[in-house]
Amino acid sequence: MPTFIPDLSVILAFALAGFVLAVTPGPDMALFVSRTMNWGRSHGFATVLGAMTGIAVHTTLVAFGISVLIVTAPAAFWVLKIVGALYLVWLAIQAVRSGGGILVVRTAGKQPSWWQSYMTGLGINLTNPKVALFFVTFLPQFVSADDPVAVGKLLFLGVEFVVVSLPVVIAIVLFAEWLTRTLRENAWVGKALNWSFAAVFMAFAATILLAEGRK
């Protein structure tokens, strides 16, 4: 077995922890549902792919120690918080700027490209200091700092986190698609949902501003 693969007990423990985190509501989950309900399953999956790319970036930064510098540097972490909060506020505005409704949004001629949905998913993870804090404080607990192949094991666990998360987020997108078909004829419900997504993004923006880096 390659040396960069952790022990089975570590793999199983991290899989369980990763699953719990994957099903915990967050701004990325709200974004997956919002994109799917407004633009369809393909945009939901494009957003998921972007978010998973963001996870890969965070894992790589942690493996090579860069994220630690960001989280422990007050000025850098403050900038990350501000950018992350502003990004969520922008998403909140985007959710309601069309004036409401799933069908109203779709017929307004403002449908984004798949690349834009991908970049939105990427941005929501890259600018979320909560995600950076998680990978800096949680992921390294499963690898010994003295392990000569620690970098390889951290990268392996990052890939494992993506693999564990994928079934959860795919199910979320498919559920959102089903819910959209069910509510397709109720424009007022779509409007209410868009305003709800906006409220969720604003709430998470406030939460991000309260996040604290390592002392």
Give me the DSSP letters along 104-171: HHHTTT-PPPHHHHHHHHHHHHHT-HHHHHHHHHTGGGGS-TT-TTHHHHHHHHHHHHHHHHHHHHHH
Q: Residue range 136-156: average pLDDT?
A: 79
What are the tokens at 125?
């993870």
Weakest-pLDDT range from 108-112, 157-161, 183-187: 183-187
pLDDT at 187: 58
| Residue 47: pLDDT over 50 | yes
Instruction: Read off the pLDDT of residues 49-101 as tens digits, 9 standing for 90 and up.
Output: 999 999 998 888 888 876 565 556 667 667 767 776 776 677 677 666 654 44
pLDDT at 40: 87
Instruction: Read off the pLDDT of residues 164-198 as tens digits, 9 standing for 90 and up.
Output: 999 999 999 998 888 877 766 555 666 666 677 67
Report percent pLDDT > 70 for the chain.
71
Burial class (CB in 10 A: 0-12, 13-18, 19+), 162: middle
Residue written as token pair 């709430």: 203
- Cα–Cα distances in angstroms (integers) from residue 12 to residues 16, 195, 197, in the given order: 6, 39, 34
pLDDT at 5: 84
- Cα–Cα distances in angstroms (integers) from residue 25 to residues 78, 200, 205, 206, in the given order: 24, 10, 14, 15
pLDDT at 80: 64
Q: Residue range 92-112: average pLDDT?
A: 55
More confident position, 9 or 102: 9
User: How confident is the prediction for the chain on average, in pLDDT?
Assistant: 77
